[in-house]
């Protein structure tokens, strides 16, 4: 086995010595050590390594800031924290800072070494597998982002439209259960909704299909509940029943997920073949995306996850920065095109229909072609 190269960050020389002494397994090799401060950041940003191990015998504070800074600049390393038992707030903060695992500093040497090796190997495998995702087949495609307004509905509606114009049989499900807008984007003023369907307590394919509204493009739409208070009628078991029935009947089931990460969203993402995580080039969106990726990893859904950058060109953050930060090359980059997007929403017509030649439309169409070629 190749040795695991460790950068060690701890505030005092004593701590650095103590922690080095705990790394007794010969697979672990400390390649540099420094304080978690500005000088340390400089050293850590260019040192070839597999793991950044940040150690402290007190409650971490400066250490977490250090981790956070490293996390945004180095996507190629695993960040671990060796510390006394943390309270739940500090633990949550540690995870948000990109720390992959917190290891109890009072554990045995053997346990500490095992934790480091397991976390480093797991991260390495994950990095390798995200590079292989490109050939994953799609059938149920969930458009998700924990951040509002990034373009989930725009993507879901236009991807559905693109596939429908390529003679595919498409169902578009609005699972943005409280404030779904698929109806607005497609100028469907009213009709039966998912809440109406659930109230009927029948999940036969024929019943489910009778609640789909046909758009002139051929897309069959299931609208979200007409009012937020009906959203809670919908349970994960309903989501599972709807998706598993429709997948037998349609070439693609596209889901507009909304921002909620509740049980229904998890059920949808677990059933989906592909999760398109929509991000914008802004720090808040990327921060939220990073956190979602961690949760999806914890749910073992990482292999179906793909990144879509929408509104590209709105900031100095580049697609390359996004790829580095999220450790995956985006499968689709949609340029910022306010004119086309506004025209589409205001008219209730998909952007691909009212502005077919806009670069944004072309990119979505190309991605739809790519999806079809893979199936």
Ligand X SMILES: Nc1ncnc2c1ncn2[C@@H]1O[C@H](COP(=O)(O)OP(=O)(O)OP(=O)(O)O)[C@@H](O)[C@H]1O
Judged by the rule CB under 6 A, the positions of this chain that interact with ligand X are: 145, 148-154, 176, 181, 258-259, 310-311, 334, 336-338, 341-342, 345, 360
Contact 356, 217 (CB under 8 A): no
Judged by beta carbon distances under 5 to 8 A according to partner kind, the member of ligand X, Mg ion, none in contact with residue 203 is none
Q: Which is nearer to Mg ion, 205 or 260 (CB)?
A: 260
Q: Which is nearer to ligand X, 145 or 225 (CB)?
A: 145
Cβ 322 to Mg ion shortest distance, Å: 20
Cβ 174 to ligand X shortest distance, Å: 10
Terminal CA-CA length for the chain: 38
Q: What three-state secondary structure class fits 331?
A: coil
Q: How many helices (H) and strands (E) does the chain have?
A: 16, 13
Region binding Mg ion by CB under 5 A among candidate stretches 66-74, 107-115, 153-161, 275-283 = 153-161
- Binding residue for Mg ion (CB under 5 A) from 11, 33, 56, 153? 153
Cβ 175 to Mg ion shortest distance, Å: 10
Judged by beta carbon distances under 5 to 8 A according to partner kind, the member of ligand X, Mg ion, none in contact with residue 338 is ligand X
Contact 117, 140 (CB under 8 A): no
Judged by beta carbon distances under 5 to 8 A according to partner kind, the member of Mg ion, ligand X, none in contact with residue 222 is none
Judged by beta carbon distances under 5 to 8 A according to partner kind, the member of ligand X, Mg ion, none in contact with residue 148 is ligand X
Contact 137, 306 (CB under 8 A): no
Binding of residue 225 to Mg ion (CB under 5 A): no
Q: Which run of H or of E encompasses 82?
A: strand 78-83
Cβ 262 to ligand X shortest distance, Å: 15
Q: Which is nearer to Mg ion, 320 or 347 (CB)?
A: 347
Judged by beta carbon distances under 5 to 8 A according to partner kind, the member of ligand X, Mg ion, none in contact with residue 330 is none
- Pull the structure tokens for residue 30: 């400390």
Residues 6+ apart with CB under 8 A from 51: 4, 5, 6, 7, 77, 78, 79, 80, 116, 119, 120
Cβ 171 to Mg ion shortest distance, Å: 17
Q: How many CA atoms lie within 13 A of 327 on its CB side?
A: 25
Contact 351, 186 (CB under 8 A): no
Cβ 219 to ligand X shortest distance, Å: 16
Please, which of residues 133-152 interact with Mg ion by CB under 5 A?
152
Residues 6+ apart with CB under 8 A from 3: 26, 27, 28, 29
Binding-site ranges for Mg ion (CB under 5 A): 152-153
């Amino acid at each position: 086995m190749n040795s695991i190269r460790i950068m060690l960050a701890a505030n005092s020389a004593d701590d650095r010595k103590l922690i080095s002494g705990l790394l007794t397994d010969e697979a672990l090799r400390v390649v540099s050590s420094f304080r978690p401060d500005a000088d340390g950041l400089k050293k850590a940003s260019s040192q070839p390594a597999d793991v950044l191990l940040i150690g402290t015998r007190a409650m971490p504070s400066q250490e977490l800031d250090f981790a956070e800074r490293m996390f945004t600049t180095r996507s190629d390393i695993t960040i671990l924290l060796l510390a006394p038992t943390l309270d739940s707030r500090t633990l949550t903060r540690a995870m948000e800072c990109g720390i992959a695992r917190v290891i109890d500093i009072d554990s045995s040497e053997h346990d500490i070494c095992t934790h480091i090796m397991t976390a480093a190997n797991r991260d390495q495998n994950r990095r390798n597998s995200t590079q292989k995702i490109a050939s994953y087949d799609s059938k149920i495609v969930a458009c998700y982002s924990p951040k509002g307004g990034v373009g989930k509905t725009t993507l879901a509606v236009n991807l559905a439209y693109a596939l429908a114009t390529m003679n595919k049989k498409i169902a578009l499900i609005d699972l943005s259960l409280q404030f779904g807008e698929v109806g607005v984007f497609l100028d469907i003023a009213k009709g039966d909704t998912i809440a109406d369907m659930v109230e009927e307590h029948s999940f036969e394919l024929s019943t489910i299909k009778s609640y789909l509204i046909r758009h002139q493009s051929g897309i069959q739409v299931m609208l979200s509940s007409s009012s937020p208070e009906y959203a809670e009628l919908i349970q994960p078991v309903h989501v599972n029943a709807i998706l598993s029935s429709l997948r037998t009947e349609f070439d693609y089931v596209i889901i507009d997920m909304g921002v909620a990460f509740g049980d229904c969203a998890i059920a949808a993402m677990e059933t989906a073949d592909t999760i398109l995580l929509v991000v914008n080039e802004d720090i808040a969106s990327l921060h939220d995306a990073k956190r979602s990726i961690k949760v999806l990893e914890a749910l073992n859904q990482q292999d179906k996850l793909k990144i879509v950058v929408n509104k590209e060109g709105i900031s100095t953050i580049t697609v390359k920065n996004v790829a580095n930060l999220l450790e995956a090359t985006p499968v689709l980059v949609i340029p910022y095109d306010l004119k086309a997007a506004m025209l589409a929403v205001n008219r209730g017509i998909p952007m691909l229909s009212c502005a077919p030649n806009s670069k944004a439309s072309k990119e979505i169409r190309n991605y739809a072609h790519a999806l079809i070629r893979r199936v």
